[in-house]
Amino acid sequence: MCGGSGWKDVVSGNERRVARCECFLQTQAKHFRSASEIPARYSDCDFSNYEIGGNDGLATAKLKIEAWAAQYPVDRTGLLLIGPSGVGKTHLSVAALKQLTQKGVHCLFCDYRELLKKIQNSYNPSVQTTELDLLRPVFETEVVLLDDLGAVKPSEWVWDTVSLVLNTRYNDKLTTLITSNFLDGASGAVDGPRRATREETLGDRIGERMRSRLFEMCRLVLVNGKDYRQKFRSASSR
């Protein structure tokens, strides 16, 4: 239709103009999808194949995230998906990321554990990549999915790194999607002696100051349901 130019003629009455050709938009979407670095394991994750299994909580979470992706960038507030392991938080987040790339939005999938490992490895003198080189895409990409936040045992270095990433994106008004297996709650420093008698919370894993920052950056979405991976393993063993 466009002869490879990326533009096509559009005639409406006596008016003639040009618009982007579908081939250009499709090529652009493929480029953004590839640049998003979504792992092969999640390449087929879409809203259409997310299994709700009759669970109202999962259905509500899916509707919220799907609506968020559809209206972006009208509202650039991020999302914080919290729920137990195996309920499809990453599936839903990747589905949202893929929908944004179709609209020409620059996105990036970032595994929290892998990011910290790469940063630690950059301190090795034999490695040519610097910490700034690794973090620049995380700092600058319009929409970043930070998957499995809190999965690494907390330390001062971990807290400082999380603080750097979240504060940089917050100050630059960039959108962040976050998933975590840890339920929201104050850190042990706030709860005092009760910490020994309860499960760890998001505040414990990333620090109370960063937990507070998350709620300035994101809206909370609870994703509650049965562990799909456990269900799959049980079915496979029969």
pLDDT in tens, 163-191: 999 999 999 999 999 999 998 866 655 44
What local confidence, expressed as pLDDT, does residue 236 receive?
40
64 CB neighbour count, 10 Å cutoff:
17
Share of the chain above pLDDT 90, in %: 53
What kind and span of H or E run contains 143?
strand 143-147
The residues, any chain, with a CB within 8 Å of residue 68's CB and separated by 6 or more, are 75, 79, 96
Supply φ then ψ for residue 51, to 5 degrees.
-90, 120
Q: Can you list the domains of the chain with their CATH numbers?
A: 21-236 (3.40.50.300)
CB atoms inside a 10 Å sphere around CB 82: 21
Place of tokens 């008016």: 15
- State pLDDT tens for residues 229-238: 554 444 444 4
